[in-house]
Amino acid sequence: MTTATASALPFTPSPNIAQLKESATIAVSARARALKAAGRQVIDLGAGEPDFDTPTFIRRAAQRAIDAGATRYTATEGILPLREAIAAHANAVYRGSDPARPSDIVVSSGSKQSLFNACFVLFGAGDEVLVPTPSWTSYYEMVALAKAVPVPVFGARSRGLKVTAAELADAATSRTRGVMLNSPCNPTGAVYSAEELREILALAADRGWWVISDEIYLHIAYDVPATSVLSLVQDRERLIVINGVAKSYAMTGWRIGWAIAPHAVAAAMTALQSHTTSNPAAVSQHAAVAALTDTEAAQAAITEMVRHFRMRRDAAMAVLDEAGVQYVRPDGAFYLYINVGGDSGAFATRLLDSGGIAVVPGSAFLTPEWVRVSYAAPIEHVVEGVRRLVAAL
């Protein structure tokens, strides 16, 4: 009989995850939550999720779906009505030679899973993948989990930390296999113009790279609409477009994302998913069908959320402008990327512990002199949080 307890067992992580770091954005939210639970007043500007409730028409659709029996496994790649709705949205902007078909689409448990599955089936040992930087922390880890090497390509301050095709070309080697795009960008809120995207897509096509375009913030844009790469290409041969319901429809907890990919890639992603998580939650898929097909109600909800995001963004920018603090002008998403001039890890810890404000240090996005502030929070919290941040600077 063994007397060893589970906690006493030695654990050496397998080489599969030896390099893996916990998601810094999730870690900040967890710390803010722990402080709140301990009775501290915390303004959480760390979370990357809309603070709105899922619109009523979507919640009602989910309730109806449960009552109608959406409680069982579905096809691994997702129910047909959802994939049809996703294809219809894609083809509304795509004018190329091979319109998206439902069989080119794989629905997963969040776009995070879609991104991981895409990286895992496309890249492997010896491959390099260009990651415009700063970018969402998980891209680096996902590429590394696929045993490929993420290659950060840093954007210039003068261009809102966006990268150019020329900078990507300079960073490429004979081992480059792909590039990750994300516009509007997390963490900067920067939005690539159609021309900037066109140049990158032309380079990728010329070099035969895979392009993974994460368009999760596409509908959250302010002065001009953000551009989907689908509206810019003539064929989808090497293109994987990722999107989901989390941010645009305030549905983070429902866990629905998808990939639109060439059929062979979609089939490989489905096979991978069939051995890992199977289908995403049936009821969530039905909720997503409502979000994508009741376009009038959905547009009204998105317009209202974007109106609030814009007011908060403008109020926060006014505080920063008055103080002369440097930041990236956010034309989309719901983040402000602020230059704190030094070690942002120490700054963020100080701001949370003494100022009660949670923000994400830019070290999570390989740019340690910056912090990310999420304005997916009530406007008075955003303004107060940014004021305290400025005071701490």
Query: Which residues contribute to the site for ligand PLP (CB under 6 A)?
Result: 48, 110-112, 136, 182, 186, 214, 216, 244, 246, 252, 257
Residue 74 or 186 having the CB closest to ligand PLP: 186
Kindly state the smallest distance separating residue 110's Cβ from ligand PLP, in Å: 3
Kindly state the smallest distance separating residue 206's Cβ from ligand PLP, in Å: 26
Kindly state the smallest distance separating residue 194's Cβ from ligand PLP, in Å: 20
- Closest C-alpha to 359, from 348, 368, 370: 348
Residue 256 or 325 having the CB closest to ligand PLP: 256
CA end-to-end distance (rounded Å), the chain: 59
Residue 261 or 325 having the CB closest to ligand PLP: 261
Kindly state the smallest distance separating residue 87's Cβ from ligand PLP, in Å: 19
Residue 55 or 257 having the CB closest to ligand PLP: 257
Residue 139 or 209 having the CB closest to ligand PLP: 139
The residue whose Cβ lies closest to ligand PLP is: 110
Buried b (16+ CB within 10 A) or exposed e, 116-142: bbbbbbbbeeebbbbbbbbbbbbbbbb
Residue 150 or 257 having the CB closest to ligand PLP: 257
Kindly state the smallest distance separating residue 372's Cβ from ligand PLP, in Å: 10
Residue 252 or 349 having the CB closest to ligand PLP: 252
Kindly state the smallest distance separating residue 221's Cβ from ligand PLP, in Å: 14
Residue 134 or 356 having the CB closest to ligand PLP: 134
Distance, in Å, from the CA atom of 276 to the CA atom of 114, rounded to the nearest integer, reads 12
Kindly state the smallest distance separating residue 111's Cβ from ligand PLP, in Å: 3
Residue 185 or 325 having the CB closest to ligand PLP: 185
Kindly state the smallest distance separating residue 8's Cβ from ligand PLP, in Å: 35
SS (H, E, C) the chain: CCCCCHHHCCCCCCHHHCCCCCCHHHHHHHHHHHHHHCCCCCEECCCCCCCCCCCHHHHHHHHHHHHCCCCCCCCCCCCHHHHHHHHHHHHHHCCCCCCCCHHHEEEECCHHHHHHHHHHHHCCCCCEEEEEECCCHHHHHHHHHCCCEEEEEECCHHHCCCCCHHHHHHHCCCCEEEEEEECCCCCCCCCCCHHHHHHHHHHHHHHCCEEEEECCCCCCECCCCCCCHHHCCCCCCCEEEEEECCCCCCCHHHCCEEEECCHHHHHHHHHHHHCCCCCCCHHHHHHHHHHHHCHHHHHHHHHHHHHHHHHHHHHHHHHHHHHCCCEECCCECCEEEEECCCCHHHHHHHHHHHHCEECEEHHHHCCCCEEEEECCCCHHHHHHHHHHHHHHC
Kindly state the smallest distance separating residue 368's Cβ from ligand PLP, in Å: 19
